């Protein structure tokens, strides 16, 4: 993805004495072209900076006080016993949703990547679940899990399994929302990995077949290493998104029952918006932002390396 | 013989697993359509076999026929639908106007801070929304932008702008700079080259990216939830109202869900070729 600069002539071809710096307007051109986007950028960064500033005050909608109190809101957050539980739920949701989507998505992608009429027909509909708004999809699932009009419990009963109380009880609440996340985003994982599988050169796989390599040998030594960049793309999008998942949990239980599903995002929303204590909820959002920022930087760097390494196979 | 039999068995097993997965993936959508066709009586007494009716669609689009009999009339749906349409298309138009030139600059020029700029736009996509919209909920109230179309369209740039910039950048990078250099030698100014040569070349990708951005804006929930109220209420926010009231209108909600999501599924089918690149922000060419 090397960028060839069209504004400057190829310097290597010109004797050094003849190199003239392009006029100021030409050098400023890219900034001018990007200027409208830069203005939008500032409009988005301003509230972000204000948010960090407000997190250092005791500001509440009901008591607009902007005294500087240092990290008091952060200290209070860490000392709150709910904070560690919230950390646990946020991570549990993100790891389980991403993990299942990777495994199921890879399976579906490999099964779709075959000569099969069934696969061809089904593939067309793969994108449907992820085009529905997460909130609306969650309401549909909520309806299916509902005791009086729901269909999931009758279906469980018909194959001899007992009814579940789904998101209404703490034991199965996390399972219920992760199930919806898996339903909605496994197609994304499958699509990306399917695109990866289809981009592979056939040579190494034919060589392995001729040598009589087993399925697992080929999978471990060819498929997985070559697929790593694509797996990382899935992780980057799905892990980051599920760390900050709001819509599914909010539409399902608003964080309940009790505080069972109070992730960072839900806690920040409840404290800052519902309870109107603006400054007190901000640390949850800001800590989550910092975590996501560093993890995504690291994953993107890893992705770059994996891409170069995978290129070595073809 | 043994090998072909084994191969066929693996094929059957694989297709079987796929069918199971797709039952799981498609059943909620089928169920949504079924429930939207049920009358309120049959909602509680039937599962798959019932007398279909269009009452729910009529109720959400034109008002409840039983409104006089004490049932709350819910006919905000057409308004919510319009709101969703206005803010989503507004957001995409703004993103196109500012994002297409920015994507071009990022793809074609080497300038200081280029990669930092590109990654700052990308970081919007991954940032937890509340880090921006909690302070915005205060700033908007001070500026009078709370519950306004402009306010929502502005904040939707967090959703639509990174997508358009990154996807378009990858399309611009796919075009050989030789074409532009030839035009430049012929004395064409850069803006004519951009409009007359480059834009037509990326048009299919551009259209697909814009449609996908529209879908993401349409599906958004947290921005209008926090920064809007009755004026700009979108279908995603109003959908909650059908079942959070004392009386749950599951069938009405299902009808609203069908009207607000089927168009997008059809839309997505039409851009399937470009979907993978759009969904991965240009990282996977697909």
Residue A214 has pLDDT above 90, yes or no: no
Mean pLDDT of chain A: 89
Which among A50, A140, A244 has CB closest to B135? Answer: A50
Q: Examine the domain organization and report whether B55 and B197 are in the same domain.
A: no
Q: How far is CA B210 from CA B127, B271, B276, in A?
A: 21, 10, 14
User: Measured between CA atoms, how close is B65 to chain A, in angstroms?
Assistant: 23
Measured between CA atoms, the residue of chain A closest to residue B131 is A285
Q: Examine the domain organization and report whether B148 and B40 are in the same domain.
A: no
User: Measured between CA atoms, how close is A53 to chain B, in angstroms?
Assistant: 9
Residue-wise pLDDT for A266-288, tens only, equals 999 999 999 999 999 999 999 99
Q: Examine the domain organization and report whether B207 and B161 are in the same domain.
A: yes
pLDDT at A310: 82
Interface contact flag, A107 B17, Cβ < 8 Å: yes
pLDDT at B69: 46
Which among A124, A183, A246 has CB closest to B222? Answer: A246
Can you tell me the distance from the alpha carbon of A52 to that of B56, in angstroms, rounded to the nearest whole number?
46
B286 assigned to some structural domain? no
The dihedral through the CA atoms of A288, A289, A294, A299 has a sign that is positive
Can you tell me the distance from the alpha carbon of A132 to that of B215, in angstroms, rounded to the nearest whole number?
9
Q: Examine the domain organization and report whether B161 and B82 are in the same domain.
A: yes
Can you tell me the distance from the alpha carbon of A253 to that of A249, in angstroms, rounded to the nearest whole number?
6
B187 assigned to some structural domain? yes
The dihedral through the CA atoms of B123, B124, B129, B134 has a sign that is positive
CATH number, domain at B134? 1.10.3720.10
pLDDT at B183: 87
What DSSP element (H or E) covers A78? helix A72-79
B285 assigned to some structural domain? no
Q: Phi/psi zone of residue B188: left (φ > 0), alpha (ψ -120 to 50 degrees), beta?
A: beta
Measured between CA atoms, the residue of chain B closest to residue A48 is B132
Residue A244 has pLDDT above 70, yes or no: yes
Interface contact flag, A136 B131, Cβ < 8 Å: no
The pLDDT-based confidence of B82 (bands split at 50, 70, 90) is very high
Mean pLDDT of chain B: 88
Interface contact flag, B120 A41, Cβ < 8 Å: yes
Residues of B in contact with A66 (CB under 8 A): none
Q: Examine the domain organization and report whether B211 and B100 are in the same domain.
A: yes
Is residue A212 classed as helix, strand or coil in its secondary structure? Answer: coil
| Residue after which a domain boundary falls, among B69, B88, B122 | B69
Residue-wise pLDDT for B146-201, tens only, equals 999 999 999 999 999 999 999 999 999 998 888 888 888 888 888 888 888 889 99
Listing DSSP states for A258-281 in one string gives TTTT--HHHHHHIIIIIS--HHHH
B254 and B56 Cβ atoms separated by less than 8 Å: yes
Which among A127, A151, A288 has CB closest to B272? Answer: A127
Listing DSSP states for chain B in one string gives -HHHHHHHHHHHHHHHHHHHHHHHHHHHHHHHHHHHT--HHHHHH-SS------HHHHHHHH--TTGGGTPPP---HHHHHHHHHHHHHHHHHHHHHHHHHHHHHHHH---TTHHHHHHHHHHHHHS-THHHHHHHHHHHHHHT-TT-HHHHHHHTHHHHHHHHHHHHHHHHHHS-HHHHHHHHHTT--HHHHIIIIIHHHHHHHHHHHHHHHHHHHHH--HHHHHH--TTT--HHHHHHHHHHSSS--HHHHHHHHHHHHHHHHHHHHHTHHHHHHHHTTTS---
Domain count, chain B: 2
Which among B18, B177, B267 has CB closest to A6? Answer: B177
Give the dihedral of Cα atoms A254, A257, A258, A260; nearest 10 deg: -90
The pTM of the full predicted model, rounded to 2 decimals, is 0.91
Is residue A160 classed as helix, strand or coil in its secondary structure? Answer: coil
| Residue after which a domain boundary falls, among B69, B91, B122 | B69
pLDDT at B75: 66
Residue A15 has pLDDT above 90, yes or no: no
Interface contact flag, B272 A50, Cβ < 8 Å: no
Task: Select the residue from B20, B28, B92, B226 to test the A interface by mutation, using most A Cβ atoms within 10 A.
Answer: B28
Residue-wise pLDDT for A132-159, tens only, equals 999 999 999 999 998 888 899 999 999 9
Interface contact flag, A289 B131, Cβ < 8 Å: yes
B27 assigned to some structural domain? yes
Domain residues for the domain of B63 are 2-69
Residue B235 has pLDDT above 70, yes or no: yes
Residue-wise pLDDT for B88-113, tens only, equals 999 999 999 999 999 999 998 888 88
Q: Examine the domain organization and report whether B13 and B139 are in the same domain.
A: no
The pLDDT-based confidence of A17 (bands split at 50, 70, 90) is low
Q: Examine the domain organization and report whether B166 and B113 are in the same domain.
A: yes
What DSSP element (H or E) covers A209? helix A203-210
Q: Examine the domain organization and report whether B82 and B65 are in the same domain.
A: no
pLDDT at A2: 47
User: Measured between CA atoms, how close is B68 to chain A, in angstroms?
Assistant: 26
pLDDT at B230: 86
Which among B28, B138, B154 has CB closest to A278? Answer: B138
Interface contact flag, B254 A34, Cβ < 8 Å: no
Q: Examine the domain organization and report whether B221 and B199 are in the same domain.
A: yes
Provide the 10 A C-beta neighbour count for residue B190: 19
Interface contact flag, B134 A51, Cβ < 8 Å: yes
User: Measured between CA atoms, how close is B88 to chain A, in angstroms?
Assistant: 13
User: Measured between CA atoms, how close is B69 to chain A, in angstroms?
Assistant: 24
Residue A5 has pLDDT above 60, yes or no: no
Can you tell me the distance from the alpha carbon of A40 to that of A57, in angstroms, rounded to the nearest whole number?
27
Q: Examine the domain organization and report whether B130 and B265 are in the same domain.
A: yes
Interface contact flag, A134 B161, Cβ < 8 Å: no
Residue A161 has pLDDT above 70, yes or no: yes
Interface contact flag, B98 A140, Cβ < 8 Å: no
End-to-end CA distance of chain B: 38
User: Measured between CA atoms, how close is A140 to chain B, in angstroms?
Assistant: 6
Q: Examine the domain organization and report whether B117 and B152 are in the same domain.
A: yes
Which among A118, A127, A140 has CB closest to B15? Answer: A118
Residue-wise pLDDT for B49-77, tens only, equals 888 888 888 888 887 655 544 445 456 88
Can you tell me the distance from the alpha carbon of A53 to that of A48, in angstroms, rounded to the nearest whole number?
9
User: Measured between CA atoms, how close is B70 to chain A, in angstroms?
Assistant: 23
Residues of B in contact with A50 (CB under 8 A): 135, 138-139
Residue B245 has pLDDT above 90, yes or no: no
The pLDDT-based confidence of A19 (bands split at 50, 70, 90) is low
Mean pLDDT of A192-207: 91
| Residue after which a domain boundary falls, among B53, B69, B85 | B69
Interface contact flag, A122 B18, Cβ < 8 Å: yes
Q: Examine the domain organization and report whether B39 and B95 are in the same domain.
A: no
């Amino acid at each position: 993805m090397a960028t060839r600069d069209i504004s400057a002539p190829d310097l290597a071809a010109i004797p050094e004495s003849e190199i003239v710096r392009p006029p100021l307007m030409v050098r400023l051109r890219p900034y001018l072209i990007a200027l409208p986007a830069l203005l939008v950028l500032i409009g988005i960064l301003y509230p972000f900076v204000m948010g960090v500033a407000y997190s250092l005050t005791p500001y509440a909608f009901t008591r607009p006080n902007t005294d500087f109190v240092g990290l008091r809101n952060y200290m209070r957050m860490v000392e709150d016993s709910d904070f560690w539980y919230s950390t646990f739920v946020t991570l549990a949701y993100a790891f389980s949703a991403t993990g299942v989507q990777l495994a199921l998505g890879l399976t579906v992608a490999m099964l779709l990547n075959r000569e099969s009429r069934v696969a061809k027909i089904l593939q067309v509909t793969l994108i449907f679940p992820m085009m529905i708004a997460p909130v609306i999809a969650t309401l549909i699932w909520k309806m299916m899990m509902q005791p009086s009009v729901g269909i999931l419990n009758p279906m469980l009963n018909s194959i001899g399994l007992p009814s579940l109380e789904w998101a209404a009880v703490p034991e199965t609440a996390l399972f219920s929302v992760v199930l919806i996340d898996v339903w909605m985003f496994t197609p994304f994982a499958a699509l990306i990995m399917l695109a990866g599988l289809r981009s592979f050169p056939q040579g190494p796989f034919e060589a392995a077949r001729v040598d009589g390599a087993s399925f697992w040998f080929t999978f471990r030594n060819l498929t997985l290493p070559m697929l790593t960049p694509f797996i990382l793309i899935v992780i980057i999008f799905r892990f980051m998104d599920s760390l900050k998942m709001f819509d599914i949990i909010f539409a399902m239980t608003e964080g309940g029952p009790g505080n069972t599903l109070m992730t960072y995002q839900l806690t920040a929303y409840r404290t800052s918006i519902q309870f109107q204590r603006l400054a007190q909820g901000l640390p949850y959002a800001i800590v989550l932002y910092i975590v996501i920022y560093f993890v995504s930087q690291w994953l993107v760097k890893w992705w770059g390396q994996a891409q170069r390494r995978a290129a070595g196979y073809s | 013989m043994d090998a072909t039999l084994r191969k066929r068995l693996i094929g059957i097993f694989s297709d079987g697993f796929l069918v199971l997965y797709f039952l799981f993936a498609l059943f909620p959508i089928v169920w949504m359509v079924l429930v939207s066709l049920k009358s309120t009586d049959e909602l509680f007494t039937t599962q798959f076999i019932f007398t279909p009716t269009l009452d729910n669609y009529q109720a959400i689009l034109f008002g409840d026929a039983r409104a006089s009999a004490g049932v709350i009339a819910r006919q905000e749906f057409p308004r919510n639908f319009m709101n969703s349409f206005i803010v989503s298309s507004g957001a995409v138009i703004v993103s196109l106007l500012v994002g297409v030139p920015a994507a071009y600059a990022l793809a074609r020029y080497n300038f200081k801070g280029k990669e930092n700029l590109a990654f700052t736009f990308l970081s919007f996509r991954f940032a937890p929304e509340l880090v921006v919209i909690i302070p915005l909920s205060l700033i908007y109230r001070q500026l009078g932008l709370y519950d306004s179309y402009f306010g929502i369209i502005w904040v939707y740039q967090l959703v639509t702008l990174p997508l358009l910039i990154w996807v378009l950048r990858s399309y611009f990078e796919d075009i050989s700079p030789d074409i532009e250099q030839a035009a430049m030698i012929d004395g064409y100014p850069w803006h004519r080259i951009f409009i007359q040569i480059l834009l037509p070349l990326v048009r299919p990708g551009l259209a697909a990216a814009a449609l996908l951005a529209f879908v993401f804006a349409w599906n958004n929930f947290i921005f209008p939830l926090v920064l809007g109220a009755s004026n700009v209420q979108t279908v995603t926010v109003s959908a909650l109202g059908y079942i959070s009231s004392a009386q749950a209108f599951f069938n009405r909600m299902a009808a609203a869900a069908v009207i607000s999501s089927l168009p997008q599924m059809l839309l997505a089918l039409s851009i399937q070729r470009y979907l993978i690149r759009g969904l991965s922000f240009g990282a996977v060419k697909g």
